Every structure is written in C-alpha cells, then in structure tokens.
Amino acid sequence: MTRITAVYDIESPSGVAHAAAVMAGEQSTGTFVRLAAETDALRERSAARIESIEISGERPEPSLPSRLTGPRYERGRVTVSWPVENIGHSLTTLLSTVAGNLFELAELSAIRLLDIDLPSSFVAACPGPQFGAAGTRRMLGGHVGPVIGTIIKPSVGLDAAGTAALVQTLVDADIDFIKDDELQANGTYCPLADRVKAVTAVLDRHADKTGRRVMYAFNITDEIEQMWRNLELLEAKNATCAVVCINAVGLPGVRAVRDRSTVVIHGHRA
C-alpha cells in the first residue's frame, strides 16, 4: 500500500506521543470515542500511522494560547502517514488531511507542517506548472538573465487607456515583466476586455519595433467559468500570462485554469 507522509513540529501539554496519536486518529479513522464501526480491519486498512517521534525539548509555558494546560509543554517532530487510498489523487482532500482539523486540536499548543512526501502516482495525477522557469523564458523570446518586473500602480483607478499609457512608459524603460495588481481584475472602471485590448496593442507595437516581447500578466481571477472565458480573451490577443489569486479561487480553481491555459500562470498569494 502506497502512503502519503507528512512531518510536523508540534508542542503539547499532553505530551508529544499522546498528541501524535490524537492527530493520527482525528485525521483518519478516529473520532472522540472508539466506535463500533471502527473495526480492527478498518483501522488496519485506513488508519493514519505514526512513523516516528523525535522529542526536541519542553517549556513551562505554551508557545500559543492553549485550551488544555499542563505543568509542561513538550515539543517534538512527528511523522505521520496515510494510505493514498484514503485520499485518492485529490489536492483538496490532501489539504484537508494533512492541514485540516488537526490545527484546532486541544492537545496541541502549537503545530507547524514542515514537509509532505507524495507517492509518484499522486504527483503524476496532479501535474505542476505547464511552463515553469524555462517555459516562461521561451514566452519572453528566449530571455537570458534576470527578469526585471513591476506592477501597475496605482493598483486601481486607472482606466484601460491610462493603464496602456503606463505600460508604454514601462516597456520603453526595458522592463521585462509587468502585471496587474491583484486588486485589479474586471471592475466597471477598467474592464478586463478593454484593458487586454489596450495593453496588448502597446506590447505588439513594441515587439514590432524592437523584436522584444514584454510579458504582461492580466488578472483573470473570477468564478471558474468566467476565468475560462478570460483565458479565451487572452489567447485571442496573443497574451502570454495570467494572474490567478490562489487563495481566492482555491486549489480546484487553480487546477481548472492550469488545465485549460495556453499562457503562463502567475500565482498570487493575495
């Protein structure tokens, strides 16, 4: 059985070993009490497993406010694993498993997820960036050396014509990469379609004049189907990059864009 492994740095008033057992139960087959349906066979097949515990020290006070208290707060590194069959190849369920309810357990006064190890089958089913650094450089016409970038400021308030005028100033200054601010998406004052049309016209003229294509990242963050339509808009104008606010659209949103995009995705933490 192939397993997913996660490593945590934890602190507990109940002791690291006890807290690790609670974590493993909470994030797999266990609950507040042992249920009749949680048979030994079920646990053998689906329960999380504590792979290792390394005690690193203790302190008299908790690092963070803790619902449970104790005379000491033990700290250590814990490695927990899950059968991949629990999760399948779902990024969202993976996140819920390795970084879900365990962050609110009373037995923990502090916890940090340090590392995740995924089986090759999971990695193959959830591909990473389509382009990466090398592909981005190709989109920039084989650019060599540092990529010098900047962001449109003010973040909001400029209309499409004002944005294009600023882009002209920036490309004339030999900037390589320009992006929309994450606050500028598809508002009524500067609609995405108008901005794409105005900005790509500047980029096209600059490329015709100099042979150098500047990359502009348009913020397409929206509902999933609208982001697909936004991608089609970029592709129609030969744009090369899209901004997606990762935390706003979630992992399914990022995947939905990635699987349809012919342009580089600039992931913004927002």
DSSP per residue, 115-152: EEE--HHHHHHS---SSHHHHHHHHTTS--S---EEE-
Instruction: Extract the tokens encoding 127.
Output: 């591909």
SS3 assignment, position 199: helix
Give pLDDT, residue 242: 98
Q: How far apart are CA 235 and CA 170, in angstroms?
A: 23
pLDDT tens, residue order, the chain (270 aa):
589 999 999 999 999 999 999 999 999 998 777 888 888 899 999 999 999 999 999 999 999 998 999 999 999 999 999 999 999 999 999 999 999 999 999 999 999 999 999 999 999 999 888 899 999 999 998 888 999 999 999 999 999 999 999 999 999 999 999 999 999 999 999 999 999 999 999 999 999 999 999 999 999 999 999 999 999 999 999 999 999 999 999 999 999 999 999 999 999 999
Domain range annotation of the chain: 3-125, 132-268
pTM recorded for the entire structure: 0.85
| Terminal Cα distance for the chain, rounded | 38
Q: How far apart are CA 11 and CA 19, in angstroms?
A: 8
Cβ distance 175 to 149 under 8 Å?
Answer: yes
| Exposure class string for 140-169: b at 16+ Cβ within 10 A, else e | beebeeeeeeeebeeeeebebebbbebbbe
Residues 6 or more apart whose CB falls under 8 angstroms from that of 31 comprise: 25, 38
Domains 3-125 and 132-268 share a fold: no
Q: How far apart are CA 96 and CA 93, in angstroms?
A: 5
Which CATH code is given to the segment(s) 132-268? 3.20.20.110
Cβ distance 165 to 198 under 8 Å?
Answer: no
Cβ distance 207 to 213 under 8 Å?
Answer: yes
Which of 195, 186, 139 is closest to 165 using CA atoms? 195
Give pLDDT, residue 23: 95
Residues 6 or more apart whose CB falls under 8 angstroms from that of 3 comprise: 49, 81, 82, 83, 84, 119
The gap from C-alpha 50 to its chain's centroid, in whole angstroms, comes to: 27
Which CATH code is given to the segment(s) 3-125? 3.30.70.150
Amino acid at 170: L
Pairing mode of beta strands 3-12, 241-245: unpaired
User: The tokens 């057992």 sit on which residue?
Assistant: 21
Give pLDDT, residue 10: 98
Q: How far apart are CA 204 and CA 95, in angstroms?
A: 41
